[in-house]
Amino acid sequence: MTSLRRALPVLCLLSLPVLAADPLPSWHEGPSKHSILEFVQAVTVEGSEDYVKPAERIAVFDNDGTLWTEQPAYFEVLFAFDEVKRLAPQHPDWKTTQPFKAVLENDHQALAQSGMDGLLRIIGATHTGVSTEAFIDNAKRWLKQARHPKTGKPFNQMIYQPMLEMLDYLRSQQFKTYIVSGGDTAFMRAFAEEAYGVPPEQVIGTNFVTRFQFNNAKPQVIRTAKLAHNDDGPGKPESIDAVIGRRPILAFGNSDGDLQMLQWTAAGPGRRLMGLVHHTDAQREWAYDRHSPVGRLDKALDQAKTQHWTVVDMASEWRRIYPFEPAVKLQAQ
């Protein structure tokens, strides 16, 4: 009986092409697609020794570099730069004050010299001092108008078709999908439901301290300049524990900032799936990992190899990168 229970997920997986359409059509047949399909079958087939109740099927995903492109810079940073230019008439002193002066003049060298302190000043000036609703409206307006510098597409179309399929597949199997990202929670809530099918209450990110107040007799929640939680690195399992209250059984990321989330997921009992999107496609997207200033993948890649986590080779395992692109055939080796 035990051997039969163990065989059930494999038998279901083998019969999948006969019983249903391919749930991951933008993935080439390969180790990553196989591990995803096998894992989902194992934890959803009743009677399997790896069976997990639907309420416990929690899947968490990073956003930048995992669900959408993060090159040539994090999209939220590009949003902040454009917001500086939009708000500049209200702040005439920015013309002579760094790092705002550098943004207004497109002075990349001066902007780089301002470092992280300068970036945090820009984020503070563009992300706080307004209500949460107003900030989300600002983000939505930018997403409608702004275009990616390489493709000319709206930023919220620079999403990964294979990951969209994975999200849909998991939800069809009664998984609850969450975004757990270092990005600002409200910024991601401006597009996550439309782009990914992930509702606002399942979006977890970096947060500023908020304050309830009345403005012209209207109650508002105002975003202050004080950081409440940095949802990166160890901040990710901390927020998962605080917000979700269940340890995920599946986690996907793409950088060292996701390492602790993957470690936290892996440490739980029973069957688990930990995955990394490895950016290896310089032609269709970008190729980067250990030395990239954006989305650096170094320690997490080493641990993935030693722990046998799923590492998705974008160049060889994805037939299509973006929804607006045609699928390509895998070249013969």
> pLDDT digits over 311-331, tens only?
999 999 999 999 998 887 755
Q: 46 lies in a domain? A: yes
226 and 175 in a single domain? The answer is yes
Q: 6 in helix, strand or coil?
A: helix
Q: 299 lies in a domain? A: yes
Q: 260 lies in a domain? A: yes
Q: Name the nearest CA neighbour of 43 among 54, 33, 35.
A: 54
Single residue among 145, 172, 197 that ends a domain in this structure = 145
Q: 181 in helix, strand or coil?
A: strand
241 and 108 in a single domain? The answer is no
122 and 107 in a single domain? The answer is yes
48 and 139 in a single domain? The answer is no
60 and 87 in a single domain? The answer is no
**Residue whose pair of structure tokens reads 């013969």 in the numeric block:** 332
Single residue among 145, 173, 205 that ends a domain in this structure = 145
Q: 332 lies in a domain? A: no
CA distances 88 to 60, 214, 295, 301, Å, are: 38, 27, 30, 42
pLDDT digits (tens, 9 = 90+) for 41-82: 999 999 999 999 999 999 999 999 999 999 999 999 999 999
Q: In this predicted structure, what is the pLDDT of residue 8?
A: 47
Q: In this predicted structure, what is the pLDDT of residue 19?
A: 47
117 and 223 in a single domain? The answer is no
Give the domain CATH number at 255: 3.40.50.1000
pTM of the model: 0.92
16 and 162 in a single domain? The answer is yes
CA distances 85 to 4, 128, 132, 223, Å, are: 64, 16, 21, 20
Number of domains in the chain: 2
171 and 277 in a single domain? The answer is yes
Single residue among 145, 169, 198 that ends a domain in this structure = 145
Structural domain of 231? 2-72+158-317
Q: 193 lies in a domain? A: yes
Amino acid at the residue 12: C
* CB neighbourhood size of 196 (10 A): 24
134 and 221 in a single domain? The answer is no
The first and second tokens of residue 152, run together, are: 């000319």
Residuewise pLDDT in 10s, the chain (333 residues): 444 445 544 444 544 444 469 999 999 999 999 999 999 999 999 999 999 999 999 999 999 999 999 999 999 999 999 999 999 999 999 999 999 999 999 999 999 999 999 999 999 999 999 999 999 999 999 999 999 999 999 999 999 999 999 999 999 999 999 999 999 999 999 999 999 999 999 999 999 999 999 988 999 999 999 999 999 999 999 999 999 999 999 999 999 999 999 999 999 999 999 999 999 999 999 999 999 999 999 999 999 999 999 999 999 999 999 999 888 775 544
Q: In this predicted structure, what is the pLDDT of residue 92?
A: 97
195 and 91 in a single domain? The answer is no
What's 154's DSSP letter?
Answer: -
Q: 326 lies in a domain? A: no
66 and 86 in a single domain? The answer is no
Give the distance from CA 5 to its chain's centroid. 35
29 and 140 in a single domain? The answer is no
Number of helices (H), then strands (E), in the chain = 14, 7
Report the DSSP beta bridge partners of residue 210.
223
- Strands 273-278 and 310-313: what pairing? parallel
Backbone angles phi, psi at 27, to 5 degrees: -105, 130
Q: 23 lies in a domain? A: yes
Q: 151 lies in a domain? A: no
